């Protein structure tokens, strides 16, 4: 403890030579706000009291220069940096470390400037999607941004891992719609697109941003949305023939009209029913009105039996409240709340599906869900615009040929190792069961659904060939280029964590 105390003191001294007033932005372990600042953005309760969640110092910068100072002082005293924007990292990599570290928490760096005329915006990494969507809607009713569904996600982590939501089939990923960025590199320099060059600009758009530096802000291309969109959620149970409907959905989902987004959430149904039942919800948005949607559904997906009365017309910004489940009529200001409505303990894993899963395979999934009545699968459609973007355009490679992404998710409320292990065992056995039905060589995964089971860097030593085991799952052929960019911009591997991109070695 003595030596970490003195490192902390030296670090603070170093900071004080570089910035004039640190009282509002630096929290050391004996500061009274340390725990509340640390815990505020921990979204997965599994990591709340982790022994790896004890940074020497937390910095909540108000200005770029404070980040630059923190990079230089951390290097000087060999401290690791964890960067946190919204804190949703599934494995807590934005605030956990086994070696002495500081957290740079971007919670105060969240300005948004929307330029309606150019249809662009500058948004700082610490802004949440909710804050960003709200700011867009204040300026325009026909502009939006294609990114994730949960409004508390931070722009920093979300975009630097890809980012998809209800507009993915029309406009692709958040990372596909980035025009420029400011990054602070390992030498404490602040670089825009021109200064960083196209290699680094490529890498930060989905390639695990934290491996390359600290992204301060993004310039994004806004996209056109109609004044009125239509949403619907219809559920079918096993008794109601859901297996056939899900099977059909798989066959048509990636070729559907790109104005239509239908995701499927499969899980246990009906909490009060005597008999265990299973349910799939078709949770959807159409970029148009009901009178166009119904004939389109009758033509392409009559098996769902969608009726006009199942549907609600609303604005795009209202749809950003609908998907996370805010009740109808909630004020748009709920988007500004950085706290999640409820926090859980959770574990997730992911797959990409290239061939429809046969009916017998789907039936096996139902059996698995019955084993663990709180587990679920979220199946997000791809196709549309995603098919038109090449695998190497940005580091996210899961494009044409993929029908949909599956996220396996289990959430629980009770702390404790035994409880956690039960759920972890279940999700791992479901993942094993799914093997024959999902993408192969590699069995792909989505980096924003971070999964430490896929493999990790060894403490203090990061080998390219070992990292390739998990790296190829997330990035396929782009992994090598990411490692080559890493060699160029951070050859000493200062920015590292359990799943950071290592420098390339042949
Ligand atoms: P966090 O701050 O934890 O950062 C995640 C990673 O990025 C860490 O490694 C961190 O160090 C790094 N990082 C953060 N800011 C950085 C910066 N400025 N510069 C460099 N590195 C930085 N995904 C999706 O595509 N669609 C969705 O709809 C959802 N929905 C969803 C709901 C919920 C409840 C959760 C918990 C997660 C999702 N996700 C998602 C996954 C989400 O996209 C993923 O967790 C993002 O990394 C979250 O970004 P944050 O900034 O919030 O996380």
Q: What is the pLDDT of residues 95-106, one digit of tens each?
A: 999 999 999 999
Atom of ligand 1 nearest to the CA of 163: 25
Contact yes or no for 289/202 (Cβ under 8 A) = no
Predicted pLDDT at 269? 80
Confidence at residue 374, expressed as pLDDT on a 0 to 100 scale? 87
Q: What's the whole-number average pLDDT of the chain?
A: 95
161 C-beta neighbours (distance < 10 Å), count: 28
Label residue 439 by pLDDT band (50, 70, 90): very high
How remote is the CA of residue 148 from the centroid of ligand 1, in Å? 10
Using CA atoms, how far apart are residues 469 and 445, in angstroms rounded to an integer?
A: 12
120-124/214-221 β-pairing: antiparallel
- Residue 275: predicted pLDDT: 64
Report the pLDDT averaged over residues 126-130. Answer: 98
Q: What phi and psi, each to the nearest 5 degrees, are found at residue 105?
A: -105, 115
Q: Please determine, for residue 341, whether its predicted confidence score (pLDDT) is greater than 90.
A: no
Atom of ligand 1 nearest to the CA of 499: 9
* Nearest CA-CA partner of 143 in 160, 108, 167, 164: 167
Mean pLDDT of 268-276: 65
Tell me the C-alpha distance between 151 and 149, whole Å.
Answer: 6
Tokens found for residue 412: 């629980």
pLDDT of 339 reads 87
Residue 171 has pLDDT above 80, yes or no: yes
**Cβ neighbourhood burial of 414 (10 Å; 0-12, 13-18, 19+):** exposed
- Work out the pLDDT band at 207, boundaries 50, 70, 90: very high
Closest CA to 319 of 165, 459, 213, 450: 165
Task: Give the model confidence (pLDDT) of 458-479 as tens digits.
Answer: 887 778 999 999 999 999 999 9
CA–CA separation, 28 and 185 (whole Å): 24
Task: Give mean pLDDT, residues 441-445.
Answer: 97
Catalytic status, residue 431: no
Rounded mean pLDDT of 394-417?
A: 97
- Ligand 1 center from residue 304 Cα (angstroms): 33
At 407 the pLDDT is 98
Q: Residue 260, class by beta-carbon neighbours within 10 Å (0-12 exposed, 13-18 middle, 19+ buried)?
A: buried
Q: Does the pLDDT of residue 271 top 80, yes or no?
A: no
- Per residue in 359-380, pLDDT tens? 999 999 999 998 887 899 999 9
- Tell me the percentage of the chain whose pLDDT exceeds 90: 91
Q: What is the ipTM of this complex?
A: 0.99
CA–CA dist 457, 342 (Å, integer): 32
Measured in angstroms, how far is the CA atom of residue 224 from the centroid of ligand 1?
25
Q: Quick one: which of 202, 262, 268, 267 has its CA closest to 404? A: 262
Task: pLDDT band for 506, please (50, 70, 90 cuts).
Answer: confident
Ligand 1 atom, smallest distance to 44 CA: 36
| Given 404, 431, 446, 449, the catalytic residue | 449
């Amino acid at each position: 403890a003595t030596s970490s105390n003195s490192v902390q003191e030296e670090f603070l001294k170093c900071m004080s030579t570089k910035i004039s007033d640190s009282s509002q932005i630096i929290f050391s372990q004996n500061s009274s706000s340390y725990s509340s600042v640390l815990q505020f953005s921990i979204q997965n309760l599994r990591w709340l009291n982790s022994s790896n969640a004890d940074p020497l110092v937390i910095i909540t910068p108000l200005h770029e220069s404070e980040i630059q100072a923190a990079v230089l002082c951390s290097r000087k005293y060999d401290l690791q940096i964890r960067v946190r924007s919204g804190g949703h990292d599934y494995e807590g990599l934005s605030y956990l470390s086994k070696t002495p570290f500081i957290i740079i928490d971007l919670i105060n760096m969240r300005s948004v400037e929307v330029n309606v005329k150019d249809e662009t915006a500058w948004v700082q990494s610490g802004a949440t999607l909710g804050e960003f969507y709200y700011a867009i809607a204040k300026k325009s009713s026909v502009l939006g941004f294609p990114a994730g569904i949960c409004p508390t996600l931070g722009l920093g982590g979300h975009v630097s891992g890809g980012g998809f939501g209800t507009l993915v089939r029309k406009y692709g990923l958040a990372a596909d719609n980035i025009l420029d960025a400011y990054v602070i590199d390992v030498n404490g320099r602040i670089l825009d697109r021109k200064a960083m060059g196209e290699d680094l600009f490529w890498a930060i758009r989905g390639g695990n941003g934290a491996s390359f530096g600290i992204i301060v802000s993004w310039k994004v291309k806004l996209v056109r949305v109609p004044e009125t969109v239509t949403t619907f959620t219809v559920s079918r149970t096993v008794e109601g023939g859901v297996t056939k409907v899900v099977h059909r959905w798989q066959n048509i989902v990636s070729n559907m009209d790109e104005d239509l987004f239908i995701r499927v959430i499969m899980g246990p149904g009906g909490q009060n029913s005597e008999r265990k039942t299973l349910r799939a919800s078709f949770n959807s948005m159409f970029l148009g009105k009901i009178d166009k949607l119904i004939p389109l559904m009758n033509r392409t997906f009559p098996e769902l039996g969608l009726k006009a009365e199942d549907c609600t017309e609303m604005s795009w910004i209202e749809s950003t409240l609908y998907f996370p489940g805010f009740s109808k009529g909630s004020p748009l200001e709920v988007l500004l709340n950085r706290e999640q409505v409820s926090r859980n303990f959770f574990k997730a894993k992911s797959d990409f599906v290239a061939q429809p899963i046969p009916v017998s395979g789907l039936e096996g999934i139902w059996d698995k869900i019955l084993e663990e009545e709180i587990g679920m699968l979220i199946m997000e459609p791809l196709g549309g615009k995603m098919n038109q973007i090449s695998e190497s355009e940005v580091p996210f490679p899961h494009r044409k040929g993929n029908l949909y992404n599956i996220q396996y998710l289990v959430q629980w409320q009770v702390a404790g190792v035994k409880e956690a292990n039960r759920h972890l065992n279940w999700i791992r056995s479901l993942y094993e069961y799914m093997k024959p039905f999902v993408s192969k060589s590699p069995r792909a995964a989505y980096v924003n659904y971070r999964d430490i089971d896929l493999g990790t860097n060894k403490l203090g030593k990061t080998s390219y060939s070992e990292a390739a085991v998990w790296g190829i799952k997330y990035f396929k052929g782009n992994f090598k280029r990411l490692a080559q960019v890493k060699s160029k911009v951070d050859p000493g591997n200062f920015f590292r964590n359990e799943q950071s991109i290592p420098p390339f070695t042949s």
